[in-house]
């Protein structure tokens, strides 16, 4: 009972601090619960849906296979293959709202008997109860096309099936969940059409022959006996069957899941890092609250010791007070993370293409919450150790725990008429610096993280150039690939009529097998344009460059040799360097044109002409003009892809979320710290008022102290970000196949996070200092 | 009635504190006049309301009813900014505890009060602060912090701070309450000498020996002023100081006895 009485009394006395701790832990638990839910559920959901929908350990996209059944049988006949299932597809370029697709779309017939896909309700808030029927002229698409193209139900999508009037138009009937290609991070997209439409398109392709633009093909879902040896299986298939001859691309389940989850994983990683920063911030605030609480309660604790309370008991009481706030905050955050996960999942559908279940992963959350709780208990226990220094004599003498710190002979920053209030602020800071250290550490952490995200945002750029440069093997303004009768010269002439071409080169992306494993090859006419990281580019025809990921997979380094097989032959090449290209999660190699032609067939349609324009702002007009003039005979792409907008908007959401958290945390920490400092300074405030200094001036002086503290913290935060960002973000970016992240922010971008944090600290401390108005000079009245 | 000019006037001052639903009345219709150049002492037993009256008169505390006039102008409804201006120019304060700002040196504690006001150059403030600290016999300790000096030294610095802006009135709330006998006498001697130079003082005390230094003594009980005694100027009596003090003390004691103190 006596403990309960003391617990109540302490809770009343420190209610504002405990409320602050409650809020901090609520936000941490909420953010942690939401991130863990989305991270855990998206991973498991994608894999379970892929399995349910019948996708294999490996999926090969093949085209123009003369004997598909024979190929399937040959693959299925391999010892390591359990079975092969196939889905018919037609590859075709498509246009939405006058935007041409970057990758070919895959028209997939929806078989009545199959239960492969799930269909969203029109508002994307759930699923349709009954599998819908698709009428001729209608199609279902992934909801990620909303973010990629601004697509809505009822919009039209045009597919270029054949030249001279061979276009097919479909109206979007609704959205389906595609666990395989649904994410906006994946360029290739599946379109569900009815069997009748698919057959009509197939017939058109067959009838038009050479004039057909679309190609018939299939997705082969290959199930291995041993799921651990997917790369061996890939090699075995390439060596023993004709699969590689017809393969457009081949990806493992892991690679597809990686593509689908690339955005969630990268942002979840960042958010979890941010949660750790917030936890550290909360511990700093908690530490300050505990220390100043003990200092304020020294006399009370001394009295309790005189009546028989031990240090251990007093520490237990303090622990219980703070644990009440911590546990209730964590529980409230835990409960709120259910709707928060639901909301976040709903908001992400148009980017991820899937509806991530909002069911909390109890074991993960419980484990993480327990870890946080244990950490905080340990922290509180350590911080309350000072209680042992309190003696009954302190209570008898009415002494505080902290002795006056003015042992130095000379005073810091003399008090003069000029800049009086600034000098008073400096003096307060210098003499009670321990009180402001927590605020300074918080400023360091918040500025560091805000700078880190700011640097990522600046690297990404408004148009996503940073990301595109990482994904593209070489820079360009516009790429033009010609088909049919159209020649590159004709296309180039049209481009030149808009703006001068300052430079150009050729790039092709055929598939090759490297030491038996399929990879995409970036074949370039000017190898010096590759983004090199190590060694030298592949100038000679017997040299290749590989990404860091391929080098790791193949266990090769600069100077080692690799066997590369194309559709004409196989040759040995030396690895001349490591280059950067995040395409296919970084699993690609680079070759010179001469080097590739030793093993691959030349074909004018293989090459894409990459141009640098004198005036890049006319790219959109050039694209429109080329498409209008040559229709399906030309494919134009810019240094961008529609999925990039999803990333940019997700980045913007992250930045907004982060600044929101910075706002709330700065508010809570400033109010918590500020109220403790003000409580300790009540007497001084009374004295200043008695000599005629107004509350407004005292508030300004108080805010000035936090301003100076935040400035000091911000400088450290900026420096930390400058030193650590690139290596830290590179570690996260490797998940996305980007291995060389280098941010070069402008001065404004460097200073912005610091400016925000400084202003917030100053503004909130000025608000927190509102209670100075209520400090009456009567606090100085004698007993 | 005294013909001297009334500097500060309290009319029907009432002060009560709300404690939950209960109202605790501390001052009841107090009428008081403070004259220019007087050394007014307010006496009374503990809980009589003398400190509350001092704080209400000086505008440090609000009043529940009535009005306070300074030089004929009502100040009890002043806004904070007006009150702050009054404190920098017209009023000085000395408290029972040595209320100096703990992280400012004695010199800075004195100077900051002058800097908070306007109109004087930094050099003049510096000279004046040094002069006052020397006069208060704490010139040597000027650059020390309050925690590094004795209570008497700190209180003398507090007096210097109270008078640096040449206020018309210095309010002193039990200025010797926390001091030993010798320090008390030094502090009271300083206040008395300031008064002799024309400084108006209002002092609250329950110490008869402190009251000796006043020119006019008011006695309070239960939130009311019961009586007042004019005892004339306190004089420095070299050689026969003891007998002079004894005579004044006797006069006050007899008066207080009549009031059943």
- Residue A706 confidence (pLDDT) above 90: yes
Rounded to 10 degrees, what is the CA torsion of A348, A354, A358, A362? -110
User: What are the helix (H) ranges across A94-143?
Assistant: none
Higher pLDDT, A7 or B140: B140
* ipTM of model: 0.84
pLDDT of residue A407: 44
Q: Which residues of chain A lie closer than 8 angstroms to B174, CB-CB?
A: 782
Q: Which residues of chain B lie closer than 8 angstroms to A701, CB-CB?
A: none
- Residue B113's closest chain A neighbor by CA? A691
A381-433: pLDDT as tens digits:
999 988 888 877 776 666 665 544 444 545 567 888 888 889 988 888 887 77
pLDDT of residue A679: 84
pLDDT of residue A404: 46
CA distances from A54 to A31, A85, A106, A107, A183 (A): 34, 8, 17, 17, 18
Q: Name the residue ranges covered by the structural domains of chain A.
A: 48-259, 421-463+639-783, 467-638
Q: Which residues of chain A lie closer than 8 angstroms to B117, CB-CB?
A: 692
Q: What is the mean pLDDT of residues A267-296?
A: 85
- Residue A783 confidence (pLDDT) above 80: no
Q: Which residues of chain A lie closer than 8 angstroms to B86, CB-CB?
A: 692
Note whether A291 contacts B: Cβ–Cβ < 8 A: no
User: What are the helix (H) ranges across A209-354?
Assistant: 230-240, 243-246, 253-296, 298-306, 311-352
Note whether A135 contacts B: Cβ–Cβ < 8 A: no
Higher pLDDT, A334 or A635: A334
Q: What is the mean pLDDT of residues A210-227?
A: 86
Q: Which residues of chain B lie closer than 8 angstroms to A693, CB-CB?
A: 84, 116
pLDDT of residue A406: 45
Minimum distance, in Å, between the CA of residue B231 and any CA atom of chain A: 26
pLDDT of residue B2: 46
CA-based nearest residue to A776, from B58, B162, B102, B60: B60
Length of chain A measured in residues = 783
- Residue B171 confidence (pLDDT) above 60: yes
Its pTM stands at: 0.74
- Residue A739 confidence (pLDDT) above 80: no
Which pLDDT band, with edges at 50, 70 and 90, does B102 fall under? confident
pLDDT of residue A654: 77
- Residue B203 confidence (pLDDT) above 90: yes
**Contact call for residues B67 and B74 (beta carbons, < 8 A):** yes
pLDDT of residue A419: 84
pLDDT of residue B11: 95
A15-57: pLDDT as tens digits:
888 898 999 999 999 999 999 998 889 888 988 888 888 888 8
List the helix and strand counts (H, then E) for chain B. 8, 10
Minimum distance, in Å, between the CA of residue B87 and any CA atom of chain A: 5
Contact between chains at B103 and A431 (C-beta distance less than 8 A): yes
pLDDT of residue B42: 95
Q: What is the mean pLDDT of residues B134-149?
A: 89
Q: Which of residues 695-714 of A touch B (CB under 8 A)?
A: 695
Which pLDDT band, with edges at 50, 70 and 90, does B218 fall under? very high
pLDDT of residue A761: 93
pLDDT of residue A736: 60
**Contact call for residues A279 and A372 (beta carbons, < 8 A):** yes
Contact between chains at A776 and B121 (C-beta distance less than 8 A): no
Note whether A404 contacts B: Cβ–Cβ < 8 A: yes
pLDDT of residue A640: 66
Query: In sequence order, what are the residues at sequence separation of 6 or more whose Cβ sits closer than 8 angstroms to the Cβ of residue A723?
Result: none
CA-based nearest residue to B31, from B239, B202, B224, B242: B224
A61-100: pLDDT as tens digits:
888 888 888 989 999 888 888 899 999 999 998 988 877 7
Q: Which of A194-203, A414-423, B38-47, B190-199 shows the lowest mean pLDDT across its residues?
A: A414-423
The DSSP-derived string for B86-153 is HHHHTEEEE-SS----TTS-HHHHHHHHHHHSSS--HHHHHHHHHHHHHHTT-GGGTTS-GGGS-HHH
Residue located via tokens 């030491």: A515
Contact between chains at B61 and A777 (C-beta distance less than 8 A): yes
Which pLDDT band, with edges at 50, 70 and 90, does A661 fall under? confident
Which pLDDT band, with edges at 50, 70 and 90, does A641 fall under? low
Mean pLDDT of chain A: 85
**Contact call for residues A38 and A339 (beta carbons, < 8 A):** no
pLDDT of residue A412: 64
Task: Give me the percent of chain A exceeding a pLDDT of 90.
Answer: 31
pLDDT of residue A65: 87
pLDDT of residue A521: 92
CA distances from A386 to A288, A317, A401, B237 (A): 13, 14, 9, 56
Q: Which residues of chain B lie closer than 8 angstroms to A684, CB-CB?
A: 101-103
Q: What is the mean pLDDT of residues A207-226?
A: 87
- Residue B57 confidence (pLDDT) above 50: yes
Which tokens go with A18? 């405990």
- Residue A292 confidence (pLDDT) above 80: yes
Q: A with B: how many residue pairs have Cβ under 8 Å apart?
A: 104
DSSP character for A59?
Answer: E
Which pLDDT band, with edges at 50, 70 and 90, does A576 fall under? very high
**Contact call for residues B31 and B10 (beta carbons, < 8 A):** yes
Q: Which residues of B touch A (CB under 8 A)?
A: 51, 55, 60-61, 80-81, 84-89, 93, 95-97, 99-105, 108, 111-113, 115-117, 121-122, 125, 143, 145, 147-148, 161, 173-174, 177
Phi-psi region of A40 (alpha: psi -120 to 50; beta: other; left: phi over 0): alpha
Contact between chains at A777 and B51 (C-beta distance less than 8 A): no
pLDDT of residue B1: 44
Do β-strands B39-44 and B216-221 pair in parallel, antiparallel, or remain unpaired?
parallel
- Residue A542 confidence (pLDDT) above 80: yes
Query: CA A667 to CA A288: how far, in whole Å?
Result: 15
Which pLDDT band, with edges at 50, 70 and 90, does A642 fall under? low
């Amino acid at each position: 009972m006596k403990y309960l009485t003391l617990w109540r009394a302490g809770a009343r006395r420190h209610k504002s601090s405990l409320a602050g701790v409650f809020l901090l832990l609520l936000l941490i638990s909420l953010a942690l619960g939401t991130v863990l839910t989305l991270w855990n559920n998206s991973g498991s959901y994608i894999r379970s849906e892929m399995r349910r929908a019948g996708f294999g350990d490996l999926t090969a996209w093949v085209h123009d296979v003369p004997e598909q059944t024979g190929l399937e049988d040959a693959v299925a006949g391999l010892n390591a293959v359990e079975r092969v299932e196939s889905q018919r597809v037609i590859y075709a370029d498509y246009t939405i709202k006058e935007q041409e697709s970057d990758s070919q779309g895959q028209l997939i017939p929806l078989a009545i008997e199959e239960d492969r896909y799930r269909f969203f309700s029109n508002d994307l808030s759930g699923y349709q109860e009954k599998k819908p029927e698709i009428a001729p002229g209608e199609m279902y698409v992934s909801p990620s096309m909303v973010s990629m193209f601004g697509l809505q139900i009822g919009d039209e999508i045009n597919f270029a099936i054949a030249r001279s009037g061979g276009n097919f138009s479909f109206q979007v009937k609704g959205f389906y969940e595609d666990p395989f290609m649904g994410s906006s991070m994946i360029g290739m997209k599946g379109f569900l059409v009815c069997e009748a439409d698919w057959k009509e398109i197939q017939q058109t392709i067959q009838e038009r022959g050479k004039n057909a633009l679309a190609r018939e093909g299939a997705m082969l879902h290959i199930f291995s006996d041993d799921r651990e040896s997917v790369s061996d299986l890939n090699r075995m298939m390439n060596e023993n069957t004709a699969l590689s001859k017809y393969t457009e691309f081949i990806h493992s389940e892991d690679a597809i899941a990686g593509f689908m989850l690339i955005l969630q994983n990268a942002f979840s990683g960042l958010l979890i890092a941010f949660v750790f920063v917030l936890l550290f911030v909360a511990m700093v605030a908690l530490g300050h609250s505990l220390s100043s609480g003990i200092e304020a309660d020294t006399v009370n604790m001394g009295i309790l010791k005189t009546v028989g309370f031990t240090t251990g008991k007093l520490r237990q009481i303090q622990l219980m007070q703070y644990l009440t706030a911590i546990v209730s905050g964590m529980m409230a955050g835990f409960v709120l993370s259910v709707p928060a996960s639901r909301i976040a999942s709903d908001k992400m559908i148009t980017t991820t293409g899937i509806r991530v279940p909002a069911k909390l992963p109890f074991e993960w959350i419980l484990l993480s919450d327990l870890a946080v709780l244990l950490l905080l208990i340990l922290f509180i226990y350590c911080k309350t150790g000072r209680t042992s220094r309190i003696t009954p004599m302190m209570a008898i003498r009415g002494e505080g725990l902290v002795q006056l710190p003015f042992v130095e002979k000379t005073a810091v920053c003399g008090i003069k008429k000029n800049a009086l209030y600034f000098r008073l602020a400096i003096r307060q800071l210098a003499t009670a610096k321990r009180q402001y250290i927590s605020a300074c550490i918080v400023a360091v952490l918040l500025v560091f993280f805000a700078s880190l995200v700011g640097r990522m945002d600046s690297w990404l750029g408004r148009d996503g150039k940073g990301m595109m440069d990482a994904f593209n093997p070489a820079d360009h303004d516009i790429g033009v690939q010609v088909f049919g009768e159209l020649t590159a010269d004709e296309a180039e002439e049209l481009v030149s009529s808009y703006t001068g071409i300052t430079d150009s080169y050729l790039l092709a992306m055929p598939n090759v097998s490297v030491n038996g494993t399929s990879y995409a090859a970036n074949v370039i006419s000017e190898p010096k344009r590759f983004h090199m990281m190590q060694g030298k580019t592949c100038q000679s025809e017997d040299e290749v460059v590989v990404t860091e990921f391929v080098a790791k997979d193949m266990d090769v380094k600069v100077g080692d040799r690799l066997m590369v097989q194309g559709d004409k032959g196989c040759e040995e090449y030396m690895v001349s360097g490591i280059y950067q290209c995040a395409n296919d999660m970084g699993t690609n190699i680079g070759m010179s044109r001469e080097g590739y032609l030793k093993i691959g067939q030349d074909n004018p349609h293989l090459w894409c002409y990459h141009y640098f324009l004198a005036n890049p702002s006319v790219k959109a007009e050039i694209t429109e003009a080329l498409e209008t003039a040559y229709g399906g005979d030309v494919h134009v792409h810019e240094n961008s892809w529609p999925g990039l907008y999803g990333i940019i908007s997700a980045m913007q959401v992250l930045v907004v979320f982060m600044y929101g958290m910075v706002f709330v945390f700065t508010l809570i920490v400033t109010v918590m710290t500020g109220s403790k400092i003000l409580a300790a300074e009540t007497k001084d405030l009374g004295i200043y008022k008695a000599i005629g200094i107004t509350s407004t001036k005292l508030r300004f002086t108080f805010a000035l102290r936090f301003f100076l503290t935040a400035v000091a913290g911000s400088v450290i935060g900026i420096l930390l970000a400058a030193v650590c960002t690139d290596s830290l973000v590179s570690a996260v970016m490797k998940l996305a196949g980007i291995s060389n992240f280098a941010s070069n922010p402008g001065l404004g971008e460097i200073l912005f996070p610091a400016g925000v944090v400084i202003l917030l600290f100053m503004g909130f401390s000025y608000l927190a200092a509102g209670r100075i108005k209520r400090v009456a000079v009567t606090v100085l009245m004698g007993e | 009635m005294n013909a001297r000019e009334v500097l500060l006037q309290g009319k029907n001052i009432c002060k009560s504190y709300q404690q939950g639903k209960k109202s605790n009345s501390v001052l009841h219709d107090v009428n008081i006049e403070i004259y220019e150049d007087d050394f007014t002492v307010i006496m009374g037993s503990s809980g009589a309301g003398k400190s509350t009256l001092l704080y209400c008169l000086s505008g440090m505390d609000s009043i529940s009813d009535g009005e306070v006039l300074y030089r004929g102008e009502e100040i009890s409804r002043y806004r904070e900014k007006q009150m702050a201006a009054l404190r920098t120019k017209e009023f000085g304060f000395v408290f029972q505890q040595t209320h100096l700002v703990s992280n400012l040196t004695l010199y800075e504690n004195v100077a900051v009060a002058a800097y908070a006001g306007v109109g004087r150059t930094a050099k003049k403030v510096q000279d004046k602060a040094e002069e006052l600290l020397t006069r208060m016999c704490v010139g040597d300790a000027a650059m020390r912090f309050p925690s590094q000096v004795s209570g008497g030294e700190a209180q003398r610095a507090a007096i210097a701070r109270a008078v640096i802006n040449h206020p018309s009135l210095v309010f002193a709330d039990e200025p010797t309450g926390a001091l030993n006998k010798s320090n008390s006498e030094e502090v009271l001697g300083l206040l008395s000498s300031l008064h002799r130079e024309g400084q108006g003082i209002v002092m609250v005390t329950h110490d008869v020996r402190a009251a000796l230094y006043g020119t006019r003594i008011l006695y309070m009980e239960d939130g009311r002023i019961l009586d007042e005694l004019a005892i004339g100027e306190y004089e420095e009596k070299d050689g026969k100081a003891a007998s002079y003090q004894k005579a004044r003390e006797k006069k006050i004691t007899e008066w207080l006895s009549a009031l059943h103190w």
